[in-house]
Chains A and B, each alone.
Chain A
Amino acid sequence: MSEYILTLLVFVPIAGALLLLLVNKEKGGLIKSFAFVIALINFILSLYLYFNFVPENGFQFEVNQSWVQSLGINYHLGIDGISLFLVLLTTFLSSLAILSSWSAIQEKVKGYMVTMLFLEAGMIGVFVSLDLFLFYVFWEGMLIPMYFLIGIWGGPRKIYATIKFILFTMLGSIFMLVAILVLYFMNYNYTGEYSFDLLKILQLPIPFGAQFWLFLAFALAFAIKVPMFPFHTWLPDAHVEAPTAGSVLLAGVLLKMGTYGFLRFCLPLFPNAFMNFVPLFSILAIIGIIYGALVSTMQKDIKSLVAFSSVSHLGFVMLGLFALNMQGISGGILQMINHGISTGALFLIVGMIYERRHTRLIEEYGGIARVVPVFATFLIIVTLSSIGLPGTNGFVGEFLILLGAFKSKTVYAVLGAVGIILAAVYMLWMIQRVLFQEIKKEENKNLLDLNLREKITLIPIVLLIFWIGIYPQSFLSKIEPAVKNMLEYVNYKSEQMSSCEKKFDEICEAKDEPAGYVKFELRRCTEESVLNLR
């Protein structure tokens, strides 16, 4: 089972999607139920990972088959403590997203569900790939369903939004593709073997200069995805136009691919460059935190408010990752999950009220807590999680991140913590204008409260919010060993590389600036004598 489980997780949704193609498109109910069952099966399958995961074991549930032998492309899957919960988050949110589309999607139901299932497969693929080529395939492939999701089932400006989304993402991906190819050929030069395998490329000694450029190429792709300030403008547009389920997965999962990428690729592949970029990225993260929060405050559309708040929250995640210590990175990983849960829930909730009133403008509401108390309760709970109230999941993540940032540089934590004040400002103001005060609009007086399906969608989220808030150990204990390994590995590798670089410089100086090819050989010798990366 362990060998097949990841493959199953990727291919069950694809198989489901293919089967769906055979169903008559008139049978909407059947199509929805079938898609939901597939997503649910996939979620239950993914629980197998949780229960059989051994924190100390590094990569597990691995499968490594040759795919295109001549090019050294492998079908290499595996997860560790960093990706485990992202996979679970994906299967969890996909199920809820499909459930939430039940009444929201009335047109082209079949196409929609097929797209959703393909999207799920693509997202899981990104998190489980350990082969750079395979990773790239999933990374780009997953854009296609998202493109259709926004472009077909989106709002009035869907075409603008979806093209913007695609172009932004592609812009970054192109550089990443080039960087992947450079790594591929560097690996060939070094070992004489063609391979895209991440675990092999990790052992490659990459000179500082190359690290710098390769880091930037990867980082651009990931930073756009996160999105980090100033690459965030595709996000509000995409969110506002996307259908509810699209927003849920976009915020809940897609953005995490960026932060995940930093952690999985940028950090271990280019540790020295990563460390050099700590100040820049920490500052960008902090700008994102404060900027996102401030811009959120003034939004008139609830969805774009939540979208900008994501910029702020993801800023926290980045701040944690770039703190480069246990608390910062663990907190960052946990916060990826937390943001997926809380922001996913916020989008679900906004979607529910949108279905009733067909508007997302804050000013159209007010006082609806009286008519829809259950809805109000859920919204308040999720808000509390989003503003990081202790006892909810948001607190654990944010506190660990700030604790880590505090260690790395006190001023980062001080500035980051400003975001926590601002979060209360924009969220509570929104809550006040939507739920509280008197009902002014006639249309709101007869709103229906949540139905059973909607409650079922939200209850698991609320349970998770408190579970992670009160007993985060069931998550942190699985994340921690992976982070510890990563940090040890990164520190070791960066030190090795530094000493190698130093020695190489000394030799070059002694030889009075040798010519190119001599230099190449020299470097090779230095690496062999100094490095022990395996």
Chain B
Amino acid sequence: MIEYVWLIPLLPLIGFVINGILGRRLGKTLVSLIGCGTIGVSFLISVKILFELLSLPAEHRIIERVVFPWIYSGLFKVNVSFLLDPLSCVMILVVSGVGFFIHVYSIGYMGEDKGFARFFSFMNLFVFFMLTLVLSNNFLLLYLGWEGVGLCSYLLIGFWYEKKSASDAAKKAFIVNRIGDFGFALGIMLIFWTFGTLNYSDVFLQAPSILTLGGGLATAITLLLFAGAVGKSAQIPLYVWLPDAMEGPTPVSALIHAATMVTAGVYMVARCHVLFQLAPFTMGLVAVIGAVTALYTASIGMVQNDIKRVLAYSTISQLGYMFLGCGVGAFASGIFHLMTHAFFKALLFLGAGCVMHALSGELNMQKMGELKNKLPVTFWTMFAAVLAISGIPLFSGFFSKDEILWKAFSQGNLILWIIGLVTAGMTAFYMFRLFFLTFFGKSRVDESIKSHIHESPKIMIVPLMVLAVLSVIGGYIGVPKSLGGGNNFESFLSPVFGEKGEIALHPASTEYLLMALSVVVALLGIFFAYRFYIKSPDLPKSLAQRFSFPYKLLLNKYYVDELYFKIVVNPLLKFATFLWQFFDVKVIDGIANGLANTVNWFAGIGRKVQTGYVRNYALGMVFGVLLILAYFILR
């Protein structure tokens, strides 16, 4: 099957073309069959390929396949070609697997929507680009997937384009991403002119000999690449688009803005780990930006009332974790967290979708409550996800998050570790806050909706269950050695990231201690959430009043959107208006028209001479004769 790796992205593309062109005529059943079927088959092929890969000896698990030449110009030669290795294998499994279940869920969720076919065609297109992104064997095809998923994100955020907020959010997402991609594209050019190729294998092979450790070139390349990652994976300062992206339908948030697309930046950094390891400065920056973003957005997430926004800030925060992992050199851990996060965050979004479905689209958690018994499946599955993301032992998030914290600590980054730890506590707090506000306490649901709260249909619930199972057990493939596991995940990825012997700087007892500490912190977060939102539900309000300034600051997301508007958007528009109204119209056109008018003016004077009267001409002649005579006489 490995020979047919190109089928994996191709199938969703076919789905897109069929649903995109014929969708409105096919009927919903056929559309959903094509939409889910193509991705389902891609998933099956990916699974088959995983087993084939596993049957090969570890050093042969890197396979490249050229499909056709893409852009050739002089020395510049780029093919459409795929790279299959453990890293891309993990990614295609996550993308097609999680993608498949979200597609199935969407059949129910989008069932009533006018744009049903359009939705599925865009989703298929997204999966195509995402699979291309992770399967590419060179930077340019990666860039194609990268911009392509951005396009789909644009189209899907603005899916309900009649809402101004939705079309604003879509535009914002695309433009902010383009700012990051500006750096990314320049990074690709710099890589080409440095290495003479854009193929990963050639670049990474030559990197140690061409680049010097910590040299300017290595730093420049990695910084530029990281700029792209900052945009796509919504890190400071380009994170502002992701919360707004929640304007899209919930399955979109689950697939694109939680499980897959936003993790592309992490994937890219991990993919280029050879380059990043040559640039300690960039690595430090990656870790710091990751950690700060994690903390910063977690703080915003603690006070938001919109259920999807909480999840959005949580996603940014978790992406920060992944970058923290990459930044301290624990690439495999970053990818591990990427995978487990895909399970539980997709589940959380889909669960939130079920809640919205039950409450006629209500997003405000202050208008929920007591849904535990009415939505039992949603409740239990989301519970699994909440436990996983909070880092409760035995759930998937615990293993992956702890792995990152441990690596940060063992690298000696005490401050980063503390930030990570605090963020873990905050994460537990806001997730349980969300959970309690939604499912416990007194019902605050509008009367009109109350009567017909109902659990979602099977087609939406089954994906929840599957993802819940994955959220629970997904972490067991990466149980660290200290807990008696073999860390199979890391060793599976070792052909990509290289074998890294366990750092023996710290004894195992330290690792146990840290684990216990992070569990305590998580429990503390849960305790506070319990205290605030179940025990004494009036406490948050009085706290908010007492600390009104910090509360408002958080509620308004530190006013960053307003700030960007003031210092970037407005001045730019003003400058553009000035260029047009003043410089173009007055100066450039003014000069052109001024020249024309000057000629016109002289011509106007000259024209007066041409009166058409013979006597005037005769007078002129007399004057002429007199002048000539005068000249000869006076000479």
A residues contacting B by CB (< 8 A) are: 164, 167-168, 230, 232-234, 291, 294-295, 297-299, 325-327, 330-331, 367, 369-370, 384, 389-391, 395-396, 399-400, 402-403, 406-407, 413-414, 417-418, 420-421, 424-425, 428-429, 432, 435-439, 470-473, 476-477, 480, 484
Contacts and interface: CB of A to CB of B under 8 A. Distances in A.
Interface stretch (B182-190, B322-330, B393-401, B468-476): B182-190
B71 A402 contact: no
Contacts of A167: 596
A406 B186 contact: yes
B440 interface: no
16 contacts: A294-B575, A294-B579, A326-B74, A331-B73, A403-B189, A403-B192, A406-B193, A420-B178, A424-B175, A428-B175, A432-B167, A432-B170, A436-B158, A437-B161, A438-B162, A476-B73
Nearest to A391: B144
A471 B164 contact: no
Contact of A298 (B158, B580, B588): B580
Contact of B182 (A295, A369, A418): A418
Interface string B189-219: 1101100000000000000000000000000
Interface in B530-574: 572-573
B72 A402 contact: no
A298 to B, nearest CB: 5
B167 A230 contact: no
Contact of A294 (B68, B148, B576): B576
B577 interface: yes
Contacts of A429: 171
B72 A413 contact: no
Contacts of B154: 428
A90 to B, nearest CB: 24
Contacts of B178: 420-421, 424
B78 to A, nearest CB: 10
Nearest to A484: B74
A297 B73 contact: no
Contact of B148 (A391, A406, A439): A391
B580 A299 contact: yes
Interface of B is mostly: helix
A295 B72 contact: no
A87 B74 CA distance: 24
B168 A432 contact: yes
A400 B182 contact: no
Nearest to A433: B167
B209 to A, nearest CB: 22
Interface centre among B73, B158, B592 (most CB of A within 10 A): B73
B85 interface: no
Contact of B164 (A298, A438, A472): A438
Given A297-B576, A331-B73, A437-B161, 5 more contacts: A294-B576, A299-B580, A402-B189, A436-B161, A472-B71
A413 B576 contact: no
Nearest to B154: A428
A237 B284 CA distance: 53
A477 B193 CA distance: 21
Given A295-B576, A390-B144, A477-B72, A406 B151 contact: no
B120 interface: no
Contact of B179 (A299, A400, A421): A421
B584 A233 contact: yes
B52 interface: no
Given A230-B588, A298-B573, A437-B162, A384 B76 contact: no
Interface in B55-77: 68-76
B74 A327 contact: yes
A484 B73 CA distance: 10
B159 to A, nearest CB: 11
Given A403-B189, A413-B186, A480 B73 contact: yes
B402 interface: no
B333 to A, nearest CB: 31
Contacts of A331: 73
Query: Chain B contact residues (Cβ within 8 angstroms of A): what range?
Result: 35 or more
B143 interface: yes
Interface of B: 68-76, 140, 143-144, 146-148, 151, 154, 158, 161-164, 167-168, 170-171, 174-175, 178-179, 182, 185-186, 189-190, 192-193, 572-573, 575-577, 579-581, 584, 588-589, 592, 596
B148 A435 contact: no
A473 B73 CA distance: 9
A436 B167 contact: yes
Contacts, number: 132
A417 B179 contact: no
A473 B144 contact: no
B592 A414 contact: no
A432 B173 CA distance: 13
B147 to A, nearest CB: 5
B395 to A, nearest CB: 39
Contacts of A391: 144, 147-148
B76 A327 contact: yes
Contacts of A295: 576, 579-580, 584
B189 A406 contact: yes
A175 B75 CA distance: 39
Contacts of A406: 186, 189-190, 193
Contact of A326 (B75, B147, B584): B75
B116 to A, nearest CB: 14
Nearest to A376: B161
Contact of B167 (A399, A437, A473): A437
Contact of A432 (B171, B193, B577): B171
A400 B76 CA distance: 9
Nearest to A160: B593
B75 A473 contact: no
Contacts of B186: 406, 413-414, 417
A134 to B, nearest CB: 31
Contacts of A369: 161
Contacts of B580: 294-295, 298-299
B164 A437 contact: yes
A330 B75 CA distance: 12
Nearest to A387: B178
A406 to B, nearest CB: 4
B445 to A, nearest CB: 29
Given A326-B75, A428-B171, A436-B158, A413 B147 contact: no
Given A406-B189, A424-B178, A428-B174, A327 B73 contact: yes
Contacts of B174: 424, 428
Nearest to A431: B171
A521 B286 CA distance: 68
Nearest to B158: A436
A391 B13 CA distance: 13
A402 B192 CA distance: 12
A335 B189 CA distance: 18
A417 B175 contact: no
A396 B72 contact: no
Nearest to A294: B576
A390 B182 CA distance: 13
A390 B164 CA distance: 27
Contacts of B163: 437
A230 B583 CA distance: 10
Nearest to B180: A421
Contacts of B190: 406
Contacts of B161: 369, 435-437
A396 B73 CA distance: 11
A480 B74 contact: yes
A396 B158 contact: no
A77 to B, nearest CB: 28
Contacts of A384: 151
B73 A400 contact: yes
Contact of A389 (B151, B182, B589, B592): B151
B162 A417 contact: no
A472 to B, nearest CB: 6
Contacts of B143: 390
Given A233-B588, A294-B579, A436-B167, A476 B72 contact: yes
